[in-house]
Amino acid sequence: MADQHNDDEGGRVGSSLSLKSTSPHSQVFASTITLSKKYDGPSNRSFKSKSTIGIHAHGSGFVGPLILPSLHGSLDSDDEGGIHRMKIGLLGCCIVLLGCVLGSGIFAAPQGILNMTGNAGVTLLVWLSAGLIALIAALSFVELGCTFPVSGGDYAYLNECFGSYPAFLFQISHNLVVCPVCGAIMGTVIAKNLLIPNIPSSHCPEIDWAVRLVAIMFIMLLVLVNCKNPQLTGRIQGSLMVINVAAIALMLVCGLTAIGLRKGMPHANFKLQLKPGLDAKAHVLNLVNALYQASFSYFGYTYVNYITEELENPTRNLPIGVCISMPIIICLNLFINFCYIATIPLEEMMTTTTIADNMFRAVLPDHVEPYVAWMATSLVAVAVTGGLTSYFLTCSRISYTGARNGDFPAIFKLVDVNHGTPVVSIILIGVLASCFTMVGTIPDLILVAAYLESFFNCVCIYGLIYVRFKRPDIPRPIKFPLFVPILYAAISTLIFVIPIVLVDGSNYKTSLYPVAGIGFVVLLGTPLYLLLVRPRHAWPPLIPLNAWLMKTCQKLWLVIPEELLPPDHDEGEEELVASSSSDVTLSKISSPGSVDENDDDTAKTST
């Protein structure tokens, strides 16, 4: 099943698993860090260089690893062009997983969960349940990633297990909804923690619009940084991870200290009772939505697959690292929420939009509260900024990988002429994230993202179960008992189906998110797939449209196909862009002096 490729269609040197696809433009996914053989336009000058895409990105997904670049260390080429990688041990594996999962969820989700459950006891049970489900899912993804060691994350797994159609739906879902929505959530959390604690509502009646505008400003600023200075992103990721941990530690210290100095709980928050005034059906729907709200704080466990090649003894360190890191994350979320509940009245928690600020103001003495609370909320904003920075760098690779495989418009393969970053992909996510910032609240946006992300994670695990029976002879370096993926698939399916089954006239708004999210993806993705991806030949009108889009993007942002990136920048930027004419950008460069015979077919994904 595993086919070894020393040179794929684009001249990429590496070893990977081939992906099944009905598209005639399918390429194999190269390993995460590879060498590329490239040809400089009509001159056929060939050379080898390191793929900047592979070095800057370690996969696709939700919120990228915050400190992974620093753990890699330097990547030096040997005399034969190989790359020596630093190996990550068990401690490094745990740190990477903590950096992947810890993010904005702990600051954004508690209010929505408490509004769904109505009391503290059920809230803590929801956080614990969501964490245990995430632990089972992480173990399943460990096996999935080791079974199919390909770059591309969920997109690659869906393509390998079920073909190109579900993989294309994943592209539509994450490029147009999930990734932009998560960017909008993080941008809004940053703006709220900077503005609301420091600007009284009496001084700014339209504080909500101010928050939205500041969130858009941060989103666009980080889009610019990721497009034009990715080295800065890599340098600050480790520092921002430390700030994130410091913010969480400060919240724990303040909360536990306040609890320890008091004889009893300050509020009657810990009575185990259901939200009053609702029937049984409404209680079940609220609990399901609360689980999805909590699961948002645990997303990121799929990034465990992107460090497999860099791990020492991955068959041992990867499952152990998951079993160490995920319980730590579960305990942190439980302790922080316990501190929230023990220091803030429930009524205040249900209405606040900056829960960290409320906790600091509740536990700090009056004479230091204005100064420390301001610094603490700023610390939270900086920590979430680190997650948003890494998020743009990582999620942009989803559309880039899809375009390289022929499942997404070819313009998303264009990279910056200086830094090799997928500029068009980053700009798409930034623009859509800004739009979602203007139209939704944080709890609603979390539900939209969580439903779709959980759905495709569940489909990936169904793929793992499917290949267990369909292809039992595949080498599996890590193999868990079959009940582990089956348990996760059953739980995930149950909580996804419940809102759809129990929908009626009184609670249709609660069930709107799973129905609308999946409906949008299927109704938009299916005709696009049948018209533009599945056919073996491009529609003739799309070929000039694709050429115009490629030229326009090159003129606007000085971008070229990755195959044309030189090893150095002796030529001027404008000359490089001019040399990558539309005839070259519409073709796959397969060998010196030759162009793929299906060059006109790559234009089919231009829309």
> In 10 A of CB 574, how many CB atoms?
11
User: Please, what is the angle between helix 164-173 and helix 369-404, to 10°?
Assistant: 150
Q: Torsion angle of alpha carbons 14, 15, 21, 27, nearest 10°? A: 10
The answer to the question of residue 1 being in a domain is no
The answer to the question of residue 505 being in a domain is yes
Res 327: pLDDT: 92
pLDDT per position as a tens digit, 30-80: 322 233 333 333 333 333 333 333 323 333 333 333 333 333 333 434 443
pLDDT classification of 474: cutoffs 50, 70, 90: confident
- Which DSSP state fits 311? B
The answer to the question of residue 6 being in a domain is no
Distance CA(575)–CA(474), nearest Å, equals 48
Distance CA(585)–CA(602), nearest Å, equals 9
Burial of 494 (C-beta count, 10 Å sphere; 0-12/13-18/19+): exposed
This prediction has a pTM of: 0.76
Q: Percent of the chain, pLDDT > 70?
A: 70
Q: Which tokens sit at 197? A: 């604690």
Contacts of 213 (CB under 8 A, 6+ apart): none
pLDDT classification of 395: cutoffs 50, 70, 90: confident
Res 176: pLDDT: 92
Distance CA(15)–CA(107), nearest Å, equals 41
pLDDT per position as a tens digit, 169-204: 999 999 999 999 999 999 999 998 888 877 766 566
Res 590: pLDDT: 34
pLDDT at 469 over 50: yes
Contacts of 223 (CB under 8 A, 6+ apart): 392, 426, 427, 429, 430
pLDDT per position as a tens digit, 75-100: 434 443 444 445 778 888 888 788 77
Q: What is the 3-state secondary structure (H, E, C) of 200-224?
A: CCCCCCCHHHHHHHHHHHHHHHHHH
> In 10 A of CB 16, how many CB atoms?
24
Distance CA(278)–CA(245), nearest Å, equals 39
pLDDT per position as a tens digit, 328-374: 999 989 988 888 888 888 888 888 878 888 888 777 776 666 666 67
pLDDT per position as a tens digit, 557-592: 888 887 777 765 444 443 434 444 333 333 333 333
Res 431: pLDDT: 94
Res 303: pLDDT: 73
Give ∠ CA 170-426-450 in degrees, rounded to 5.
40
Helix or strand (DSSP H, E) at 83:
strand 83-84
Burial of 110 (C-beta count, 10 Å sphere; 0-12/13-18/19+): buried
The answer to the question of residue 5 being in a domain is no
Number of independent structural domains in the chain: 1
Distance CA(574)–CA(419), nearest Å, equals 15
The answer to the question of residue 7 being in a domain is no
Cα-to-chain-centroid distance, residue 196: 27
The answer to the question of residue 2 being in a domain is no
Res 88: pLDDT: 75
DSSP letters spanning 264-307: S-SSS-----PPTT--HHHHHHHHHHHHHHHHTTTTTGGGGGGG
Rounded CA Rg of the chain: 24
Name residue 56's amino acid: H
Res 64: pLDDT: 33
Percent of the chain as helix, strand, coil, to the nearest 5 = 65, 5, 30
Distance CA(446)–CA(293), nearest Å, equals 6
The answer to the question of residue 45 being in a domain is yes
The answer to the question of residue 557 being in a domain is yes
**Residues spanned by the domain of 558:** 12-605
The domain that contains 80 carries what CATH number? 1.20.1740.10
Instruction: List Cα–Cα distances, 559 to 418, 451, 573, in angstroms.
Output: 9, 35, 9
Burial of 203 (C-beta count, 10 Å sphere; 0-12/13-18/19+): exposed
Res 457: pLDDT: 92
Distance CA(458)–CA(463), nearest Å, equals 9
Closest to 582 measured CA to CA, from 560, 563, 565, 605: 560
Indicate the SS3 state at residue 394: helix
